[in-house]
Structures are given as C-alpha cells and as structure tokens.
Structure 1
Amino acid sequence: MTKRSDGSEQLTVAGHPVYTFVGDKASGQTNGQNLNLNGGLWYAVSPAGTEIEGTSSTSARGGYGY
C-alpha cells in the first residue's frame, strides 16, 4: 500500500499501483490485459502479485481479476 496525495491508500504490487478496468463487468474478466494505455502496458495480476498471462477474460486462471 502507498499513500496517495489526497491521503487515501492505494494498493500496490512491486511498487506499482493496482487498478480495476472499466471494461471488466464480472469477477475473473481480464479485458484490459496487455493494453497499451497512457504510456504503459497494463496486465492482470493474481492475488500473489504475479502477472496472469493471456489476452481475454477466458484466460484468467482461477477466476482472478485485476
């Protein structure tokens, strides 16, 4: 966790902030996987903080999301 400028806390993995993807509507979806947005590559992570490989919601192993 890290503290944001507004005083709230932000979940981080290996020092990188973790966000939800607006295109995911259900648990386990990874529609934002491998998107190059805002100057960076985005990918889904497991609860352990490791990248979930694949490019669609059907590839999320174990039902994990962002």
Structure 2
Amino acid sequence: MLKYIALTAAGLLVLAGCAPQPAETVVGLGQEFTLAIGQAASIAGEQLKIRFVDVISDSR
C-alpha cells in the first residue's frame, strides 16, 4: 500500500514539473508593470529581459 502511495506521489510531482510555463510579459519602454516572484518581462523593441527572482528583505 505504501508503495502505491509513493508511486502516486512521484507521478504527481513529475506531472507538476511538466506544466506549461506562464507567458512572458512584454511591456513598452517607460511603461509601469508588475511582476510576481519567478515572472519575467521583456521590453518591446529592446534586447532587455527582466526576471523577478527573489526578495532579499522586507522591512514591513
């Protein structure tokens, strides 16, 4: 029984890893935009890509 639970859990993890990546946001130069952790944005017409990786500290 434990073997089947472990196999099911492993299968679910594999399927979660196969999920499609969210579409990249494309914004205009000077345009304000919002990113969540892990999201990226490209600047239209420029060779610039920004990815929000981590929050180092939060002083709230």
TM-score normalised by the chain length of structure 2: 0.22
Larger radius of gyration: 2
More strand by proportion, 1 or 2? 1
More helix by proportion, 1 or 2? 2
TM-score normalised by the chain length of structure 1: 0.21
**Relative contact order, CA 8 A, sep 6+: which one is greater?**
1
